[in-house]
C-alpha cells in the first residue's frame, strides 16, 4: 500500500508540473501579445503625432499665404486637391493643384488640401444655406501614410477668412480715360480711368466730376 501511494503521488506531481508549464506558457504568450500591442500602439501614436505636426505646419503656411494674397485662396476650385509649393522667394508659398509627399523618419506622409465655399445665414452664422461669403473658405487638410502595411489618414477642418484688404486713395486722374473694358485686370496703379458716360474730365484735368444724366 505504501508503494502504491508513492506512485500516485509521483503521477500527481507530474500532472501538476505539466499544468504549471501550460499555465506559464499561456501567461508568457499573453504578456508577449500585450507587449507587442502596446509597442504597436506606441509607434502608431508617434506616426499620428508626426501627421499632426505636419498638419499644423501646412495650416500655418496656408494662413500666411491667405494673408499675403487672398486671391490665391479665392481662385481655388471646390472639386480639386491642392498643396503648398515653396517659391524662389524664401518663406513664400503658392497654392498648386495636386498632392505632396514628405518623408519624415523614413515614413512617407502625403497631404492635400480641399477648399469649399462657405454660406452664411442672415444673422452671419455659417450655415448649409444662405448667401455665399466670398471672404471665407472652408479648408479640409488630409494627411495619409502607411503604418505596418495599413493605410492611415488624419484630417483637420478649418475656416480661413480674408483679414485685410489693400486700399489706396487716388486723387490724380491726369492720365486721362482708357477705352479698355472693365473686365481687364488692372495690374498696376496708374493715373488713368475707364471712360464712362456721365464723367466730366475735360473741364479740370486730373479731376473727375460726376454729371447728372437725364
**In the chain, what are the domain boundaries?**
37-161, 168-214
If you write DSSP's letter for every residue of 116-138 in order, what string do you get?
A: EEEEE-TTS-EESSSEEEEEEEE
Decide if 48 contacts 155 (C-beta within 8 A). Answer: no
Closest CA to 67 of 167, 163, 149: 163
Q: Which of 4-8, 58-62, 77-81, 197-201 has the lowest mean pLDDT?
A: 4-8
Q: Tell me: the pLDDT tens digits for 15-72?
A: 776 777 777 777 777 666 655 555 555 566 788 889 999 999 999 999 999 988 898 9
pTM: 0.60
Amino acid at each position: 500500500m505504501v508503494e502504491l501511494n508513492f506512485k500516485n503521488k509521483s503521477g500527481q506531481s507530474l500532472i501538476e508540473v505539466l499544468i504549471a508549464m501550460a499555465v506559464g506558457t499561456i501567461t508568457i504568450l499573453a504578456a508577449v501579445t500585450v507587449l507587442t500591442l502596446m509597442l504597436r500602439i506606441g509607434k502608431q501614436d508617434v506616426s499620428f503625432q508626426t501627421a499632426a505636426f505636419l498638419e499644423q505646419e501646412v495650416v500655418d503656411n496656408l494662413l500666411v499665404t491667405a494673408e499675403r494674397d487672398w486671391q490665391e485662396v479665392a481662385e481655388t476650385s471646390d472639386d480639386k486637391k491642392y498643396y503648398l509649393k515653396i517659391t524662389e522667394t524664401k518663406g513664400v508659398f503658392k497654392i498648386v493643384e495636386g498632392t505632396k509627399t514628405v518623408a519624415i523618419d523614413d515614413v512617407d506622409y502625403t497631404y492635400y488640401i480641399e477648399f469649399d465655399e462657405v454660406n452664411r445665414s442672415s444673422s452671419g452664422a455659417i450655415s448649409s444655406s444662405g448667401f455665399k461669403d466670398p471672404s471665407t473658405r472652408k479648408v479640409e487638410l488630409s494627411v495619409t501614410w502607411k503604418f505596418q502595411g495599413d493605410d492611415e489618414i488624419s484630417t483637420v477642418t478649418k475656416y480661413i477668412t480674408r483679414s485685410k484688404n489693400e486700399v489706396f486713395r487716388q486723387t490724380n486722374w491726369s492720365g486721362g480715360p482708357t477705352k479698355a473694358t472693365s473686365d481687364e485686370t488692372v495690374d498696376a496703379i496708374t493715373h488713368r480711368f475707364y471712360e464712362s458716360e456721365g464723367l466730366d474730365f475735360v473741364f479740370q484735368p486730373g479731376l473727375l466730376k460726376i454729371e447728372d444724366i437725364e
